[in-house]
Amino acid sequence: MKSLFGLLLLLAVSLKALAQQLDTTAAPAVTAAAPADSGAYVANRFVSFIPGKLELLDGRVIKGYMPVTTMYPGLDFEFIYYLSHPGRNPKPVKQEVRMQDVKRMTAGTHHLEPMRLPGEKVKIMAERFVNGPVEVFLQADQKSVPIIVPLPSATLMSGIPYTKSHFFVRRDGVLTQVDRGMFYMQMSQYLAAYPELAKRIAHAEKGYHYKDLLRLVSSYNQFMANLKSPVRSVD
């Protein structure tokens, strides 16, 4: 079932399109773009449509303008996209897609995937914030996020600002949801190949909590990369 937010988003986009059709003298909508997301179309304060591609489980790859929420990372509703710029006149037809049919979606610098856990129905798409031997995906509940999504670098430094967040980690193709209540035990074991990091997590030291996961996994990935780097001898 679509969330209330998803329905409101679809309604807002539809009303905007209707207004443009009624005003025949209106100029095409002005596009706004962040430096990293060239060509982004800001539909409203909740969502932007950014050039990207949609990869489906049946092997199809669709290029177009994909939705990225601007108030929180990830999607928790069936979404729409456009095959061409949404600001053109006449406005292109909305395309709908079922989340369970999606393999992955990229939009500018954003990479999102449906979180497929064994035995569970696909309910959300989370955004990848950390890439490497261990990937980290994040989706946050919009009801608790009254701020703009921070840049990944800022999030790594300060911790996530979302009180209702959902973390997922993936290693060797295996996706695991991070259990907030079991965080210290779960992640100290998951990152045990970096003993010092695992120890600090297990002891719940300052800066080694659930909200710090993006930075912790980034440190783990760097540690693993350093282990694999050849040691140069000094003459």
Residue 82, exposed/middle/buried by CB under 10 A (0-12, 13-18, 19+)? buried
* Per-residue pLDDT reduced to its tens digit, 182-233: 999 999 999 999 999 999 999 999 999 999 999 999 999 999 999 887 655 5
What local confidence, expressed as pLDDT, does residue 125 receive?
A: 93
Domain residue ranges of the chain, discontinuous segments joined by +: 4-177
* Per-residue pLDDT reduced to its tens digit, 133-160: 999 999 987 665 444 444 555 555 555 6
What local confidence, expressed as pLDDT, does residue 184 receive?
A: 97
What local confidence, expressed as pLDDT, does residue 232 receive?
A: 56
Percent of the chain with pLDDT over 90: 55
* Per-residue pLDDT reduced to its tens digit, 45-83: 888 999 999 999 999 999 999 999 887 888 887 899 999
What local confidence, expressed as pLDDT, does residue 142 receive?
A: 65
Q: How far is CA 86 from CA 63, 82, 97, 194, 205, in A?
A: 13, 6, 17, 47, 48
Cα separation of 158 and 81, whole Å?
32
pLDDT at 38 over 80: no
